[in-house]
Amino acid sequence: MIGKKVYMKPVYIINGFLDSGKTDFFRYTIAQPYFRTKGKTLLIVCEEGENGYEAKLLKSTNTILETIEDEEDFTLEKLQELDKKHDPERILIEFNGMWDFRKIELPSTWNKEQQITMINCKTFEMYYTNMKSLLVEHIRNSDMILFNRCDGMNEKLPTYKRNVKAVNRQCDIIFENMNGEVDVTLDEDLPFDLKADPIDLNNYGYGMFYLDALEHVDRYEGKNVRFKALVAKPPEFKGKRFVPGRLSMNCCAQDMQFLGFACDCDEIDNYEEKSWVELTARVEKEYVEEYQGEGPVLKALHIKPCKEPAHPIVDFTMPIMED
């Protein structure tokens, strides 16, 4: 039996705290010629900011505005009701930054096409310090993180970028000031000496090395690094290959993840899974099947057992200088 193909309606979700620029971003987007396709656009707004949507803009773009004011009303049943009422071609959701993003459930015919998190650069530190769990949920599954109002903040942008990458390594990060995009380079802000041989990485340094090497492997190719690592032996890695790394915690214990690179080591059979080693290795760039592309690969120069360090878990918010 051949069933009828169901059209999946694209959903674009934008989240972020109040005054992060969500409304301005959507107003600009729906006004663009490339967005003016046939059919209705359903715009669901969950938070009223200083700026709103002009009736003229909504009418000219065939956009229907619906407001959901209370979190308990943002339900699957409510979204299904709006879908049946308007039968839109596409859906935009301006989500309330204070609501629990994990509870979003979309109708079966809706497909999340893109998720964007808007961040006001001026207030990022305040939210990151005081409301980290909420902010992490904004960032975790977003395709793009857009920092706006970055004027006069250039010296802090590398740190902000690493804070975000610690939560979501796959997302695109854009910094904008009043003149457009801001280029962010990290060289001068790294917590270790790139000219050292080997480059010694403590707890915080290892975390920064891991994030930076993913984006800028050419910066480290041919250089030697030394750090204390937990031994991981994934079943898909054969022969003398293993993964040395550290656990990191972005928000809470349930949010733990392992940060490590593939490493070739002739002596790895002498070490058990989850044992601690001090590793000195050369960084090379090569294709790794498990990466599904090119990336950093470590070549062990020296390895020896060591005790678990005093601070075994990488915390990107607290630069621990002892190990």
DSSP secondary structure, 238-272, as one string: -TTEEEEEEEEESSSGGGEEEEE--EE-TTGGGS-
- 261, 316 in Cβ contact below 8 A? no
In a domain, 2, yes or no: no
| Residues 138, 59 within the same domain | yes
User: CB neighbours (10 Å) of residue 243?
Assistant: 19
- Per DSSP, the three-state class of 190 is coil
Q: Where are the beta strands (DSSP E) in the chain?
A: 9-15, 41-45, 63-67, 90-94, 110-120, 144-148, 172-177, 180-181, 199-200, 224-232, 241-249, 256-260, 263-264, 276-288, 293-305, 313-314
- In this prediction, residue 323 carries a pLDDT of 53
Domain count, the chain: 2
Q: Which residues contact 187 (CB under 8 A, 6 or more apart)?
A: 194, 219
| Residues 203, 172 within the same domain | no
Residue 188: pLDDT above 60? no
For the whole model, what pTM was predicted?
0.68
| Residues 35, 153 within the same domain | yes
Decide which of 161, 181, 201 is a domain's last residue. Answer: 181
206: nearest Cα among 195, 222, 217, 190: 190
- In this prediction, residue 321 carries a pLDDT of 44
In a domain, 240, yes or no: yes
Residue 87: pLDDT above 80? yes
In a domain, 204, yes or no: yes
| Residues 169, 273 within the same domain | no
In a domain, 284, yes or no: yes
- In this prediction, residue 291 carries a pLDDT of 67
User: CB neighbours (10 Å) of residue 281?
Assistant: 24
- In this prediction, residue 34 carries a pLDDT of 73
**Bridge partners of residue 118, in order along the sequence:** 146
Our measurement of the distance from residue 21's CA atom to the centroid of its chain's CA atoms, rounded to an integer in Å, reads 19
Is 116 exposed, middle or buried (CB count within 10 Å of its CB: 0-12, 13-18, 19+)? buried
Which tens digits make up the pLDDT trace of 131-149?
888 898 899 889 999 999 9
| Residues 20, 151 within the same domain | yes
16: left (phi over 0), alpha (psi -120 to 50) or beta: left
What value does the mean pLDDT of the chain take? 88
Which tens digits make up the pLDDT trace of 261-301?
999 999 999 999 999 999 999 999 998 776 677 889 999 99
288: nearest Cα among 269, 261, 268, 265: 261
| Residues 164, 218 within the same domain | no
- 213, 170 in Cβ contact below 8 A? no
In a domain, 304, yes or no: yes
In a domain, 208, yes or no: yes
Rounded distance, CA 94 to CA 210, Å?
Answer: 33
| Residues 200, 121 within the same domain | no
| Residues 172, 253 within the same domain | no
| Residues 302, 212 within the same domain | yes
When comparing pLDDT for 238 and 24, which is higher? 24
Mean pLDDT across 167-181: 86
Mean pLDDT across 4-33: 87
CATH at 48:
3.40.50.300
CATH at 303:
2.40.50.140
- 12, 93 in Cβ contact below 8 A? yes
Rounded distance, CA 278 to CA 227, Å?
Answer: 6
- In this prediction, residue 320 carries a pLDDT of 41
| Residues 52, 15 within the same domain | yes
225: nearest Cα among 200, 205, 244: 200
Domain of 205 in residue numbering reads as 190-314
Decide which of 181, 207, 238 is a domain's last residue. Answer: 181
167: left (phi over 0), alpha (psi -120 to 50) or beta: alpha
Residue 189: pLDDT above 70? no
Report the alpha-carbon angle 201-203-127, nearest 5: 125
In a domain, 4, yes or no: no
| Residues 128, 195 within the same domain | no
Sorting pLDDT into bands at 50, 70 and 90, what band is 31?
A: confident
Rounded distance, CA 174 to CA 161, Å?
Answer: 9
In a domain, 256, yes or no: yes
| Residues 226, 286 within the same domain | yes
Decide which of 181, 202, 225 is a domain's last residue. Answer: 181
Rounded distance, CA 229 to CA 277, Å?
Answer: 5
61: nearest Cα among 86, 14, 109, 28: 28
User: CB neighbours (10 Å) of residue 78?
Assistant: 14
